[in-house]
Structures are given as C-alpha cells and as structure tokens.
Amino acid sequence: MTQPQLNEFIPPPECPVFEPSWEEFADPFAYINKIRPIAEKTGICKIRPPPEWQPPFACDVDRLKFTPRIQRLNELEAQTRVKLNFLDQIAKFWELQGCTLKIPHVERKILDLYQLNKLVNEEGGFDAVCKDRRWTKISVKMGFAPGKAIGSHLRAHYERILYPYNLFQTGSNLPKATLTNDTKDKEYTPHDLPQRQSVQPQETCSIARRAKRMKSEVKFCKTRPNLRRRMGTYSYQKNCFTQVDHYMCLVCGSGSSEDRLLLCDGCDDSYHIFCLIPPLHDVPKGDWRCPKCLAQECGKPPVAFGFEQAGRSYTLQAFGDMADSFKSDYFNMPVHMVPTELVEKEFWRLVSTIEEDVTVEYGADIASKEFGSGFPVRNSHFQVSPEDEHYLTSGWNLNNMPVLDASVLTHVTADICGMKLPWLYVGMCFSSFCWHIEDHWSYSINYLHWGEPKTWYGAPGYAAEHLEAVMKKLAPELFESQPDLLHQLVTIMNPNTLMNNGVPIYRTNQCAGEFVITFPRAYHSGFNQGFNFAEAVNFCTMDWLPIGRNCVKHYRQLSRYCVFSHDEMICNMACKADTMDVDLASAIHKDMTTMIQEEEELRQKTKKMGVVQSRQVDYEVLPDEERQCCKCWTTCYLSGITCACSPQKTVCLYHTQNLCSCPQSNLTLHYKFTLDELYSMMVSIKLRAESYKDWVRSVEEILENKGNKKRGLDELHSLVEQAETKVFSHTSLLDQLRTVTSEADKVAVVAQQLLNGKRQTRYRSGGGKSQNQNELTVEELRGFVRQLDSLPCNIRQAPLLKDLLTRVDDFQQRSERLLSDESPSPLELQDLLDVSLGLDVELPQLPLLRERLEQARWLEAVHQASGRPDSLCLDTMRRLIDQGVGLAPHSSVERAMARLQELLTVSEQWEERVLSLMEARPYHSLDTLDAALQEVENIPAYLPNCLQLKDVVTKAKKWLHEAEALQLGGRIPVLESLSELVLRADGIPVKLDPLSRLEALINDVQMWKESAAKTFLLKNSPFSLLEVLCPKCDIGAGYQKSRSKKIKEAPQISKKSSTKLESVCDVERALSESKDSASAMVTLAEVRQREMEILLALRASNESKFLPGENCYALSVCVCQKAPSGAMVQCELCRDIFHCGCVETTVDLEYGQAWLCPLCQQSRKPPLDKVLPLLASLQRIRVRLPEGDALRFLIERTVRWQHRVQQACTEGVLEKVSKMVSARLGPELEELMVEGFLLQVTLPETEQLYRYLLYKLAPLPSHSTPCGGNTEQDQQSPRGSPEHNKVTQHLKQRKESSDSQHSEKAKKCRKKSKKSKERSEESQSSPTHSVSDPAPSDSEEDYSLCAAPWCREPEGDEVNWVQCDGSCNQWFHQICVGLSAERAEKEDYICISCSQPDYDDCERRMKTKK
C-alpha cells in the first residue's frame, strides 16, 4: 500500500448503510426510530430502499429553468479564505499608496505571505527574528529545505512587503520603504483582486489539463499621465507652472522642495515624499492617499462573504451539457470513467490552494412548488401510471414525509420551502454544500433521483459544539466579522483538519436511488461528483421536540431568525388533543410543561419590573416580521412587550429592558393565552395521554399478567368498546385485544362442554377407577387447561381443573425424575404411589413405579449395608445377592449386583490370604503385613481375619515404638519393662527385629544375677539376692515367722499405692517404679535409715533382757524360742543369744572375730574387689534392675562407711573409748560398728575396728571360747579397754598391707597408654591416714584425686589409674572401680556418673538430707 503524499486527503470512515426489508420500509418514521440509536452516533446514514422501489421522475423538465450560484472553490475553505482576505488587505494597502502588489516566487513557488506573516508574529516580530537570526527556522517551518539561504530571501520579502503593513497596523514609525512603482522585479506577478486569477498555477501538476484561466495582468491603479500631481497641483502638458506657496508639508511644516511635495487625492493635504512613512523616492504615478486617508480606508469593515448568482439561467439540459463538458475537459476523460476517489482528492486540493482558482456553478435551493417535485404528486402535470400510484401516498415521497401524522411539522400552518416543501438541487462536478445544520436542528432527508454520486460528510450531534469551536479556533478572522458564519452555508473545512482536532467525521457516497438522512444538530457538508439531480426536505419526530426547544434558546443567543414559532406549533397541537396520537400527546405534554413554566416565570419577572398594562393579541394573524423580537429576532407567540413610543417594535420577555428608555409602566404586555388557558390546554393534552396510557396499562395487564390477575370477560369487551369510542389509533395492541376477546368467547363454550362431559363420565363409573376407559386422559386435561391459560379471563371451573392438572403434572414430573434417577428413594416412590390414589386420571407410570419400588428397596438395603462396613459380613453379602437375583433388570441393580459380587469375591480371597500371612512360620516382617493391611483397609466389609491382622500390626507398631522409646535419649531401660516387652512379643505373630536384642539383653541380666547370687548368697540360702543386697526393713524376733507371710501378701500390697517400705516386696516395687537410679538411691537411703533405727532399737531391746534384775529363765531366746540354758552364744549385731546347739558356730573362732547369728549373717559377704566388677559389668549391660540399684547403693554405703571410719580415726574418736566411764560405746561408734556389721561386703576396716574396740573394752583373756556359760560375761567380753594407739596402728598396717598387695598386682598388669599414670609417693604417709601423728609433714605430696565417691585412697610406689571414656573424662583408681589392669587395657570404661546421669543429683540429695 502506497503511503499518502504530504497534505493528501485521507477519506474519513464510512457512515452506516441500512437496507430495510419491505415490511420495515412500509413505515418511514418507525424504521427511522429503529435505526436512530445507531445512526445518530455518526450524524448521517444512508438508506438503500428495496430494489423494487423505483419512483418515476416527475419533475417538469421543460419548465425547469434556474439561475445557479457561482462557487470559487478556494474561497469556500475557511483557512484558504483567511489567506485570500489577508492578501486583499495587503494589496489594498499598497494600492492606496500608488503601488502595485506583486507576489514574489521563492524556489519556483508562490510565497505564502499569510503563513510568513503568521510565523514571524509567532516568533516575536520582525526585530526579534532578525536579532535571534531565526529566518532559517522560519523557512524550514514553511517547508523549504534548509541550507539554501532561503531565510535571507524571506527576510527581504517580509521587510519590503509585510513589515510596512505591520508597522502601519500598529501605528508605529515606519522605516523607509523600498517598494516603489519604479522598482521592477521579474519574479513578481500582479495580483488581480477582483478575479482572483493573477496567481499562475504550477507548471507541473498531477492533472493533465486545467480550466482556462485569464493570463493578462490587470493593474489596480489607472495611470493618468495628464493628471500627475506635483507641487500640490495637477501639472498640464504645457510648460507653464503656477506658484503654490501656500501649500505646506503637514509633517515638517515647510513649503520648501516644491517638486517633492505631494497632494493627497482624498483630503488634499500636502506631504513631502521624504517626510512620509515610509519615504518615497519619487512621485507615484497613480492616485495617492495620505496616511490619514489610508487608515480610514483600511479600517472599513469587510463586506460579508456570500455566493454570487450566475449571469445566465440554465435549463436542465443546458446545465447538464455544461457540467459534463467541464468534468470531461478538467480530467481529460469521459465523465463516467473518472473515479470518485480521484474527484474527492482533487476537490479538497483545490479548496485548499490559492494558486489555482476553479469556479463552478450549483443549482441549489430550487423550490419544488414552482417547477414540480421529482416525486409524483396529485394534481400535477405528470401523469402517473396505475402501477406507480402507490408512490403518490408513500411515506418516503418527500412531499408526504413532512406532513405525516408522526411528523410534528404537519402542525406548522405555513408552507415553509425547504422544510415542509422539498427543495431541488442540480449539481455539477465540484459544486458543494458547506458545513451546516438544519433549521431548528431538525432531521433532513435527501434523495438522489439520478446522476452521478453526491459525497457527504457528517459529524454527530453531540460533536456540534466541538466542530464549531475547532473552526473558530482555526479561522478566527472569519468569525470576528460574521459570528453566525456557519449558519450562512458559505464555509467549508477539510474533514482531515477537523478529525485531526478531535471531531468525529464520517462520509458516504450517495448514489442514484438512495436516501441520506441527517439527524438533529448533525453538521454535514459535501460536494457533487458530477451532474445529478437531488431533492431534500426536513421532518421532525416526537423525539425532536426537546431538541427543537433548545435550538430556539440557541437562536436567541445568536440573534438568529426562527423559521417558525416553536411555541405556536406546540399550542396548535395541544388544541387538537382529542384526536392526537397518544404517544405524541405524551411528548407534547412534557414539552408544554417546560414552555408554561418558563412563560409563567417570565411574566412574573416582567410584572415585578413594573409592566402592568396587558392586552391579548392574536399573534398567528400577524406576519412574522411584525412579531419578531428586535433584539434576538425570536418569533413571539405566547407573549411580547411593546411601547407606545415605537409601536412597530416588539421584544420578547427575555429582552424587556432592550425595547426603549421609557418607564416600565409605559410598556404593554401582549399575550396570546392567559396562564389559566395554557394550563387548561396542558390538562387536556395530559388527559389524552393518560387516558390512552390507562387503556394501554389495562390491556397490557390483561395480556401480560395472565397467571396473576385475570379479569372477567366483560372487562375485555369494555376495553374494546372504549378504544372504538375514543378513536384510539389502530395499533397492534388493539388488534391483539380483539383477538384475545374472541378467543376467550370460544374457549368459555368449550370449557363448559369439557366439564359437563367429565361429570357424566364420573357418574357412569360411580367415581371409582375400575374402568380405565372412563378416566380422563392427561392429554385431554392438559389441552383444556392450556386453553384456559391462554385466556385473560377467569372461568368458574378453572381452579378445580387447574389444581388437578397441577397435581397430575407434579406426579408426572416426580415420576419422570424418579424413573430417570439411577437410585430413587423408596420413600419417595411409596409416597408417589400414595399420591396417585387421589388422581382420577389415567396414569401409565404406575406399573413402572411399583417395579422401581422393589428395586429401590433392595438398593437401599445394599446401600445401608455398604454404609456400615463394620457389619457387612460375608453372609450378609450372600443374602443380598440372592435377593437381587429375583428383581427386574435395571442398570442400577446390575451395577449394584456386580459391585456386591466383586466385593464378596475380593473379601473371600483376602480372608484366606490374611489367615495364611498370620499363620506363616517364620513370621513375616511388619512391612509385609502393613502393605497387606493397606490393601485390606480399602475393602468396605467386615472381615474378621483382616481385623485381626490390623490388631496385630497395631500391636507390632506399638511394641516397636515402646522398644525404641526404652533407650531413647540415652535412657537405661528397666528390667521389668524389658521382660514385659519380651513377654508381649510372644503374642505378636510378626517378625520383630529388636526382639532378639532384647532377649539377649535379658539373658545377660539373668547371667549377671546368677553371677551376683554366687558371689553373695550362701549355699541353700533362704534369702533372695535383693534381700541380701538391700538394707533390711523387717528385723526382729518374729522375722523368720513373718517372712513367708509377707512374701505371700506381696501381690496384694503391690496393687496398692502405699508409700510404706515394710518388706522386701515394698522395696522391690518402689525400685521398679522409680524413674531413674537417683530416685532409687533415695528410696534405698530411706530403707537404710529405717534399718538402722530398727536395728539399734532391737539391740537395745535384746540387751535390756539380760539386765541383772531380770529373770533369765522366763525369757524366750534363740531360734527355738526357749529359755536360755547351757552354752549360749551372742550375736554381735542384733545382740540376741542363741543355744550353741541350735545354731552353727565356729569352734576355732579367734579373738577379735565377730559372730553373727543366722538371721544377721545372710550372705557370704564377699570382699569389695569382687563386688566392684559386678557393678561395672552391669553398667556395660545398661539395664536397670532392683538388684543392680541395691548393689550400687551397697557399694556407695560401703565406701561412705569407710570414709566415716577413716574420719573417726582422724578426728580421734577411737582414743576416747578407753576414757568412757561406763565401759560402753558411744552412740556414734555403736552406729558405726553396727553399720559395718550390716554391710554385705567383707572389709578389713570392719575387723580392725571390731578388734580395736574389743581390745579396748574387753582385753584378751587367758582362755577364750566362743561359747560361755554366763551370758553376762559374753556380753561384757567385747567390752575390754585395749590400748587405742596400738589398735589404730594395727588397723593402719592392715590397710597398708592390703593396698600393697593391690599395688603388687598392678605392677604385673599391662597398663593402657592413654588411661594410666604413675603416682610417686614419698616415704612418709599422708597425715590424713595417720592416727598416731596427725600433724602434717614438711613436704607435701603432689597427687591427683580419684573421682570415685568411695575412693579407697590406695598407697604405694605404683597405683593403677583408668580414665572414663564417657563425657566426663575423669580419672579413677582401678581398685576403686573394681577394674583389673587387663580389662582396663582391653575394654572401654564408662563411670557410673556417665552411664547413669541422675546419679550425681541423687548423691547431692543424700548429702543434703544428712
């Protein structure tokens, strides 16, 4: 696609084109109202009648003779006319100074002086452009190429031609002018103002041939050589001169230089040519005007622009020949071959140029009344053929359209040419009609009878003000002199220019036989493509009324004549209210309400101004020129103001003050109607509109609200009679009412017959349902009710029959819904069957409903069973399948049977598979069973084996969770929990991976218990390991008898949450329930406290038996509970005596060895170095059990007792024994000695302490025997008073000997490189271990402390140490933790603090408690 050239015309978008059908074309105003929402958006539209609609051309061609208008194309366009007016002013300026204006050429183009002047003014004027050197910029803006020094040429031309004119316009001093009559410039061509033909066209043009133009130059000033002015007077050809000394120059006041003195041809004033502004070099040849006369001539207002009438008249044939000849000569081709696009572009080029002056002629506004319309009319010279007679009355006949009933112009009494009477238009190529809107902003319709197309341009009505503003903006000079320029139809503007400024423009080409309609206030213009004949007229519809009133207001503001009185037209229509179209009456009522309101306000305002005189006048009998407002030229009708001073003058009520200067009381109000008469007219028109509205409302209510508010048949007849009486217009609504009324009469008769027949049928059948042929079919009932529904009236039997049909329809709808439903509800089916019993109509759905009821009940049973999968067992499935086999076939039943059978098969298979999984040996893994369970859980049925599998999997997961939780976070499990967990695993048929590890752990614990039992328990000992290791909680004479009873009662006691620790069972339960080792240590500490209290009390009780005042033979002693007799032996712990024959005694018991009774001697009492490995091995097993807690407590108790003994030695408590007066031990020593006997561990300190105390309190006799006849002696025998220092020294030597043995063994062991260290001891022992010499030595030993709380503080040249591999990294003596050198080398050691984190807390609590 080629790009458009610069300033080339671009066609606007096309307007809508409508092609009505014959039905739509029948009513013109109805069709126009139909397309109005679309067409009014573009302002214009084109209508193509049906192809068969071809009215004959009825104009009297022979009589038609007209004088066309002359149109110079470049004067039509607003912007071009502004340029030409400017050139006229410039030419006139120089002509009055005796000079001829010649327009210069630049770059072989005529210089646009108007654009040059405008650009210089925009840049600040001549001085500013010269100062800033902006002439090159101006040349570029004017379209000249830069770099060719065009600016200097433009400056010279401006300074010569335009600058003096601008200075003259401003009244400033003018510089010397260089443009004189003697200056010759071949580039200038004379400007012929009258003919606009001086400017020659370009040599190169796109069109090959132009219209002939005049080429002779015409000068404006006539040379009169015999009348040349010089020295203030005319000079004759004779050589005689007359003296004129009395002429003086008005500028300098001197009469010198008489040969340079000029006399003005206007006022006879004298001026020197060198005193003039601008100065002249020589005397002008033509007439000359002084500056004063020049200002007076140039200041005259311009003459209003208008078209000239041609100098000759044309017949239609002559004008056609001229038009065709012009077009063919101009385009150099036959007229029918010239494209419309080419003509359109050439037209807009011509109107926009000043270089070419093309003149055409246009036969416009030819009255059809004089020469006859192009459409056939009655009583004309044109004979209409019978087949064309319908065109006489056609609404599209432009003679009929303005006076149709739907057009309000029919109520305008005068025949207005162009509005009510069509105008004829004979066009030629380029003849145009300028931008305008129709009078009173009415509609217009144009029909092209024949000829070449007519090109139209239109703007919508809403853009009218915008278009006016754009044209005033672009050509303000034209509107300054003619404010109503657009109403003169003499100005055109390029559509592209308007579109570029935001005005919506649309176009169309109107061909022969087509209509173009313009809508209210839609600006339109156009031109003819060639010779053609068109006809146009105005019309106004109801929707135009408010627009027309606004137009009158607009005319009043512009002081423009009105073609007719809008108020007069409204009042004329109101006087015909009784026969007026009701829709038109409604529109008139709205407009009349506005009119009366304005009139009332104006009359009240006039009255307040002081106008009191009034007179009623018949304005309609006055000619328009006698009742026009002399201020705004509005045609007065309702009222006007006159004054006696000027009776021929009238003003409207808006301009009362503009009439004259007389007092207001002298003015007289002329009125056509009083306000009461106006209101009466408005009421009549309102009644007409509302009566029809009421009738329409009633009819519409009857026809539309059939189901809600039905009226009687008599009311329908009444409405028909009302329409005929009041002569309502024949509308489709009236036809519909008559049709409905007639139909209602017929249906009423048929309805009565149907009801009578139904009664007879019910009577013959007795009201029963035994005979189906006697029942009314549904279709019969429906047909009757359908007829009732179509009626707008009521029938007495209608409610009963409609109710029956409603219930039947409801039954059928419910039946259809339930039968189409895959699974209908049995309750709904049964309810529907119950409803059918009350319907006296033949219902074919009943057998199917009964059949579906059985199916629905079975489906509901299946659904209920499926909804409770916990109770849907295999037997239930089999029973439902057997029941479903006997049902009628249905898709839902078959699907349910298939699902049920599939469920049964799957359930049976899984029951067998799950059973095999649980009975398999070896057991399956949990993942296998869990995967099977995941599949089983999706089966909606009650499956016992599957539920058992689910229980097994749940138990297995719980068991594994508990197994993992036992040792979670480094916790040490309790043996009872392990045993219970392993015992529970026996009932779970699942392969449990941790089970073997737990069983091995329990086995290790059992082996440890066996090893501990071998270490502690005596052969055939009646005591359990826990009884031996725990502190005693039941000590006394009845201990042996009550022991078995307490063991039997242990289960019942364990069930009670008792906090008493009265038996071993209580202690065992408390240890098992303890959370950690620390709480277990606290419990054992309480038992130990109880043990000490009971034992000390028992010792005191037993010793009190043998006081001197007591009868010894009345006592019950020994295990036999008999009186003392014979050889007796006393227990050093409980202080009870026993017959030597009843208990086993050691005959060779040496002096210093304590004897304990069988009740006190419960274990082997192994040495500590054998006990410590047991605790270490238990720590490696990492299982908590009561025996282990008891063993740990025993070791801790032992170590604490050792420390107490060492502390007693250090503090000199033993030295005080010999000083005791009563020869009895103090409570501290007694408690120390008793606790030493209670320890189930053999310690050298126990024996040494006992011997020391025995030596001190009971010296060694000559003959010593363990059995004696005197119990008193036995009691006193251990209470000798040996030397304390010797015993202490003996104990120390015994301890050193023991440590030395351990040291020797350690030397033979292999030491760990990382966990052993040597300690060097000095020859002197530590002062804390010395009893005889408590003072410290001069040199102290640099040693490390053992971290064991029961450290035995071994001494020697070499002591073996071991470091904890746990988190504490502390060092311990190997002997203190019961570890041999070989084991320390091979195995990792973890101390008790790291293996049992709660141990340290327990230790602190025990110390705090003490």
pLDDT digits (tens, 9 = 90+) for 401-459: 888 888 888 888 766 765 778 989 999 999 999 888 888 999 999 999 999 999 999 99
Assigned token pair, 538: 């105005």
Q: How large is the average pLDDT for residues 1191-1195? A: 86
CA nearest to 1215, candidates 1248, 1253, 1258, 1254: 1253
Q: How large is the average pLDDT for residues 679-683? A: 87
Q: Where are the alpha helices (DSSP H) in 1338-1398?
A: 1381-1386, 1392-1395
Report the pLDDT value the prediction gives residue 1188, as an integer from 0 to 100.
82
Q: How large is the average pLDDT for residues 954-979? A: 76
Report the pLDDT value the prediction gives residue 1265, as an integer from 0 to 100.
40
Report the pLDDT value the prediction gives residue 340, as an integer from 0 to 100.
92
Report the pLDDT value the prediction gives residue 1289, as an integer from 0 to 100.
37
CA 1262 to chain centre: 116
Look at 1291 and 581; give whichever has higher pLDDT.
581
**pLDDT higher than 80, residue 1088:** yes
CA geometry: angle 1381, 1241, 1264, nearest 5 deg? 125
Task: Evaluate whether 920 touches 947 at the Cβ level (below 8 Å).
Answer: no
Q: How large is the average pLDDT for residues 168-195? A: 41
Nearest-angstrom CA–CA distance, 325 and 633? 45
Look at 24 and 278; give whichever has higher pLDDT.
24
Q: Where are the alpha helices (DSSP H) in 874-968?
A: 874-885, 891-919, 926-937, 944-966
**pLDDT higher than 90, residue 616:** no
Report the pLDDT value the prediction gives residue 1045, as an integer from 0 to 100.
42
Report the pLDDT value the prediction gives residue 415, as an integer from 0 to 100.
66
Report the pLDDT value the prediction gives residue 1392, as an integer from 0 to 100.
63
Task: Give the 3-state secondary structure of residue 109.
Answer: strand
Task: Evaluate whether 117 touches 126 at the Cβ level (below 8 Å).
Answer: no
**pLDDT higher than 50, residue 46:** yes
Report the pLDDT value the prediction gives residue 203, as an integer from 0 to 100.
36
Nearest-angstrom CA–CA distance, 633 and 556? 7
Which one of 148-162, 608-622, 1336-1350 scores highest in mean pLDDT? Answer: 608-622
Burial call 275-293: b when 16+ CB within 10 Å, e when fewer: bbbbebeebbbbbbbbbeb
Q: How large is the average pLDDT for residues 1091-1110? A: 78
Report the pLDDT value the prediction gives residue 463, as an integer from 0 to 100.
93
Look at 776 and 1272; give whichever has higher pLDDT.
776
Look at 1187 and 93; give whichever has higher pLDDT.
1187
**pLDDT higher than 60, residue 666:** yes
**Containing H/E element for 1155?**
none
Nearest-angstrom CA–CA distance, 1025 and 1012? 8
Look at 582 and 1128; give whichever has higher pLDDT.
1128
Residue 340 corresponds to which amino acid?
Answer: T
**pLDDT higher than 80, residue 303:** no
- pLDDT, one tens digit per residue, over 1143-1175 is 877 666 666 678 888 888 888 888 888 888 888
Look at 964 and 217; give whichever has higher pLDDT.
964
CA 1104 to chain centre: 100
CA geometry: angle 1404, 1407, 1409, nearest 5 deg? 110
CA 1172 to chain centre: 79
Report the pLDDT value the prediction gives residue 1395, as an integer from 0 to 100.
58
Nearest-angstrom CA–CA distance, 355 and 358? 10
Report the pLDDT value the prediction gives residue 331, as an integer from 0 to 100.
93
Nearest-angstrom CA–CA distance, 867 and 861? 10
Range in 132-141, 169-178, 338-347, 957-966 with the lowest mean pLDDT: 169-178
Nearest-angstrom CA–CA distance, 936 and 955? 17
The strand ranges marked E within 1081-1164 are 1128-1130, 1137-1139
- pLDDT, one tens digit per residue, over 1244-1256 is 888 788 877 777 7
Give the residue carrying structure tokens 């320029």.
485
Beta-ladder partners of 515: 47, 447
Q: How large is the average pLDDT for residues 952-978? A: 76
- pLDDT, one tens digit per residue, over 223-255 is 333 322 333 333 333 343 344 446 778 778 777
Neighbouring residues of 1286: CB distance < 8 A, sequence distance ≥ 6 = 1255
Residues of the chain with pLDDT > 90: what percent?
13
Residues of the chain with pLDDT > 70: what percent?
75
Task: Give the 3-state secondary structure of residue 128.
Answer: helix
Report the pLDDT value the prediction gives residue 1313, as an integer from 0 to 100.
33
CA nearest to 1320, candidates 1348, 1292, 1359, 1293: 1359
Residue 1113 corresponds to which amino acid?
Answer: Y
Report the pLDDT value the prediction gives residue 319, as an integer from 0 to 100.
94
Range in 31-35, 201-205, 421-425, 1225-1229 with the lowest mean pLDDT: 201-205
**pLDDT higher than 80, residue 664:** yes
Nearest-angstrom CA–CA distance, 47 and 447? 10
CA nearest to 1315, candidates 1354, 1351, 1364, 1375: 1364
Assigned token pair, 618: 């018949």
Look at 1177 and 333; give whichever has higher pLDDT.
333
Report the pLDDT value the prediction gives residue 1286, as an integer from 0 to 100.
33
Report the pLDDT value the prediction gives residue 466, as an integer from 0 to 100.
92
Range in 20-34, 512-526, 622-636, 1288-1302 with the lowest mean pLDDT: 1288-1302
Q: How large is the average pLDDT for residues 749-774? A: 47
- What is the pLDDT of the chain when averaged over all its residues? 74
**pLDDT higher than 80, residue 1333:** no
Report the pLDDT value the prediction gives residue 48, as an integer from 0 to 100.
95
Q: Which pLDDT band holds residue 1191 (cuts at 50, 70, 90)? A: confident
Instruction: Give the DSSP letter string of 1025-1075.
Output: HHHHHSPPS--STTHHHHHHHHHHTHHHHHHS------SHHHHHHHHHH-S
Nearest-angstrom CA–CA distance, 466 and 1040? 129
Task: Evaluate whether 564 touches 412 at the Cβ level (below 8 Å).
Answer: yes
**pLDDT higher than 70, residue 178:** no
Q: How large is the average pLDDT for residues 987-996? A: 81
Task: Evaluate whether 438 touches 518 at the Cβ level (below 8 Å).
Answer: yes
CA nearest to 1186, candidates 1031, 1058, 1059: 1031
CA nearest to 542, candidates 651, 410, 407: 407
Range in 76-80, 559-563, 622-626 with the lowest mean pLDDT: 76-80
Q: How large is the average pLDDT for residues 1357-1386? A: 77
**Containing H/E element for 549?**
helix 545-558
Q: How large is the average pLDDT for residues 947-963? A: 82
Range in 646-655, 692-701, 1031-1040 with the lowest mean pLDDT: 1031-1040
Report the pLDDT value the prediction gives residue 527, as an integer from 0 to 100.
94
Nearest-angstrom CA–CA distance, 1284 and 1216? 8
Report the pLDDT value the prediction gives residue 344, as an integer from 0 to 100.
94
Q: How large is the average pLDDT for residues 476-501? A: 71
End-to-end CA distance of the chain: 114
For the chain, count helices (H), then strands (E).
46, 31
CA nearest to 360, candidates 65, 76, 8, 84: 76
Report the pLDDT value the prediction gives residue 123, as an integer from 0 to 100.
77
Assigned token pair, 1337: 């030595």
Dihedral sign for Cα 862, 868, 872, 876, please.
negative
Strand pairing of 506-510 and 454-458? Answer: antiparallel
Nearest-angstrom CA–CA distance, 229 and 288? 9
Q: How large is the average pLDDT for residues 513-540? A: 94
CA 1141 to chain centre: 107
Report the pLDDT value the prediction gives residue 1060, as an integer from 0 to 100.
65
Assigned token pair, 497: 């220019």
Report the pLDDT value the prediction gives residue 908, as an integer from 0 to 100.
81
Report the pLDDT value the prediction gives residue 765, as an integer from 0 to 100.
34
Range in 509-513, 660-664, 962-966 with the lowest mean pLDDT: 962-966
Radius of gyration, CA atoms only, the chain: 70
Torsion of CA 60, 62, 64, 66, to 10 degrees: 170
Task: Evaluate whether 995 touches 1007 at the Cβ level (below 8 Å).
Answer: no
The strand ranges marked E within 218-292 are 229-230, 233-234, 261-263, 270-272
**pLDDT higher than 90, residue 795:** no
**pLDDT higher than 60, residue 161:** yes
Whole-structure pTM over 0.75, yes or no? Answer: no
Report the pLDDT value the prediction gives residue 1109, as an integer from 0 to 100.
60
Neighbouring residues of 84: CB distance < 8 A, sequence distance ≥ 6 = 74, 75, 196, 354
CA geometry: angle 939, 945, 946, nearest 5 deg? 35
Q: How large is the average pLDDT for residues 764-775? A: 42
Q: How large is the average pLDDT for residues 715-736? A: 75
- pLDDT, one tens digit per residue, over 323-343 is 999 999 999 999 889 999 999
- pLDDT, one tens digit per residue, over 1061-1082 is 777 788 878 777 777 778 888 8
- pLDDT, one tens digit per residue, over 107-156 is 777 777 777 777 877 777 777 778 777 787 777 777 777 767 777 777 77
CA nearest to 533, candidates 679, 837, 255, 320: 320
Nearest-angstrom CA–CA distance, 419 and 438? 9
Report the pLDDT value the prediction gives residue 398, as an integer from 0 to 100.
92
Range in 418-422, 603-607, 849-853, 1193-1197 with the lowest mean pLDDT: 418-422
